Amino acid sequence: MFDKSGQLFAEAINYMPGGVNSPVRAFKAVGMDPIFIKKAQGAKLYDVDDNEYIDFIGSFGPLILGHSHPDVINTITDVAQDGTSYGAPNIYELELAKLICEAIPSIEKVRMVNSGTEATMSAIRLARAYTGRNKIVKFAGCYHGHADSFLIKAGSGLLTAGIPASPGVPANHAEHTLIAEFNDLSSVEKLFKEQRAEIAAVIVEPVAANMGLVLPELEFLQGLRKITELTGALLIFDEVITGFRLKYGGFQNICGVSPDLTTLGKIIGGGLPVGAYGGSREIMNLIAPEGEVYQAGTLSGNPLAMAAGITTLKLLQDPDIYDRLEVLTYLLTNRLKNVFEEKDLYYEINTLGSMFTIFFTEQTVTSYNDVMTSDTAKYAAFYQELFKNGVYFPPAQFETCFVSGAHELADIDKTVNAVQKALEKIL
């Protein structure tokens, strides 16, 4: 069933660390080898052995419209006729920047980069320059890309691999990163009581989606705004996943809490490599060449990525799309809850908009500590069976499933059946 993928992987591990270019793709957490994808269309992935999967990853977040949306593909092929990179300004950068600033009021100016990692890394450099302070507060289980400052108690692949902090991050660098608990304001207050004069910024995923999906309490986000305002630290919302995922704009448009800086990525590149960070004119004007905070990029504002992002955002301006995504996701998660209950399993399913995670734990999941009660061995067993039945969830418990605009009711039916079968096998 996986002959060709198996051969390719055996070869790949000789040439690339772990045979992959991003750790979670290696399927280690679910005790499998990765498959090689040949083609992706709509809600489906096809591997080199011609197996078909209903995809709930969407490239880990970007593909809210599904794979190979014809408008996005046409845009990319059209724009490529005029070249792929100029090393000079292009009209697409301006258009995407305008769309972002119009959609997210806290962003008056924006800088395009090539990945979410670059966006968060640059945002904290800017926060440090603006405040003249060095320390940042991040939350256990939140993931902000792989820059040194963030590889401490981080989510996503680090959480999956059980890595508390990466080797290679100098201790005198790591000491500038303070860790608090998501949804626990008192843990933040404590840090500010001790070190308020040194804290440049609090960075948070306003909806935590890299330890599985953990929803914020509104008072938590409001509290972060209050504490940072009182102490002169900046509040950074890392909306690399949530930007344009839950509505047109960021989660900040929903929760009404306005950060000083926002980082974006994933959806705004329409499936091409992208990132962005933005905020008020006053703060963003510190960035070179207007100011002295240096940050640059050979391929930043790349015309193909910008144009793919523009087409994606324009399609997302359709007011029906987010409603449809939410209804489909509700139908799926609600039916999954019933399937689990029929088997006497009261697993937690956290869901918001088009995002959801099934936590293999029987307690409610509102914090990092709750997340860590999940039975990852059970998840792995479940995952392997689900996969055999043609449903592609993220290959780790601590990731979020994404429903796309290309999913249909038939996909929901098939997924529910596959989950039913998988549970029968593992119980």
Q: What backbone torsions phi and psi does residue 224 show, to the nearest 5 degrees? A: -60, -40
Decide if 238 is catalytic: yes
Decide if 266 is catalytic: yes
Decide if 143 is catalytic: yes
Pick one of 241, 268, 310, 316: the residue that binds ligand PLP (CB under 6 A): 241
Of 46-54, 196-204, 233-241, 413-421: span binding ligand PLP (CB under 6 A): 233-241
Least distance (Å) between residue 305 CB and ligand PLP: 11
Least distance (Å) between residue 275 CB and ligand PLP: 6
d(CA 19, CA 137): 34
Q: What backbone torsions phi and psi does residue 402 show, to the nearest 5 degrees? A: -125, 130
Least distance (Å) between residue 423 CB and ligand PLP: 29
Q: Measured between alpha carbons, how far is residue 376 from residues 169, 302, 341 in Å?
A: 27, 39, 19
d(CA 376, CA 178): 27
Ramachandran region of residue 266, left (φ > 0), alpha (ψ -120 to 50) or beta? left
As given in the structure block, the two tokens for residue 223 are 């509290």
d(CA 259, CA 234): 8
Per-residue binding string, ligand PLP, 322-361, x by CB under 6 A, is: ----------------------------------------
As given in the structure block, the two tokens for residue 113 are 């980069």
Per-residue binding string, ligand PLP, 100-139, x by CB under 6 A, is: ---------------xxx--x-------------------
d(CA 398, CA 54): 20
Least distance (Å) between residue 136 CB and ligand PLP: 14
- Using an 8 Å Cβ cutoff, are 226 and 189 in contact? no
d(CA 359, CA 350): 8
Pick one of 28, 144, 153, 407: the residue that binds ligand PLP (CB under 6 A): 144
Report the amino acid identity of residue 77.
T
Pick one of 2, 92, 130, 143: the residue that binds ligand PLP (CB under 6 A): 143
What is the full DSSP assignment across 353-369? TTEEEEESSSS---SHH
Least distance (Å) between residue 119 CB and ligand PLP: 7
Pick one of 223, 243, 265, 270: the residue that binds ligand PLP (CB under 6 A): 265
Least distance (Å) between residue 116 CB and ligand PLP: 2
User: How many residues line the site for ligand PLP (CB under 6 A)?
Assistant: 14
Exposure string over 202-235, b if 16+ CB within 10 A, otherwise e: bbbbbbbbbbbbbbbeeebbebbbebbeeeebbb
Query: Which residue is closest to ligand PLP by CB?
Result: 116
Sign of CA dihedral 156, 162, 167, 171: positive
Pick one of 121, 224, 240, 276: the residue that binds ligand PLP (CB under 6 A): 240
Pick one of 19, 34, 141, 145: the residue that binds ligand PLP (CB under 6 A): 145
Of 86-94, 142-150, 193-201, 246-254: span binding ligand PLP (CB under 6 A): 142-150
160: how many CB neighbours lie within 10 A of its CB?
23
Of 178-186, 237-245, 291-299, 380-388: span binding ligand PLP (CB under 6 A): 237-245
Name the packing angle between helices 218-231 and 185-195 (round to 10°).
10
Position 260 contacts ligand PLP (CB under 6 A): no
Per-residue binding string, ligand PLP, 34-73, x by CB under 6 A, is: ----------------------------------------
Per-residue binding string, ligand PLP, 180-219, x by CB under 6 A, is: -------------------------x----x---------
- Using an 8 Å Cβ cutoff, are 156 and 24 in contact? yes
Annotated catalytic residue, options 55, 184, 238, 260: 238
Active-site residues, by number, are 143, 238, 266
Which residues are near ligand PLP by CB under 6 A?
115-117, 120, 143-145, 205, 210, 238, 240-241, 265, 275
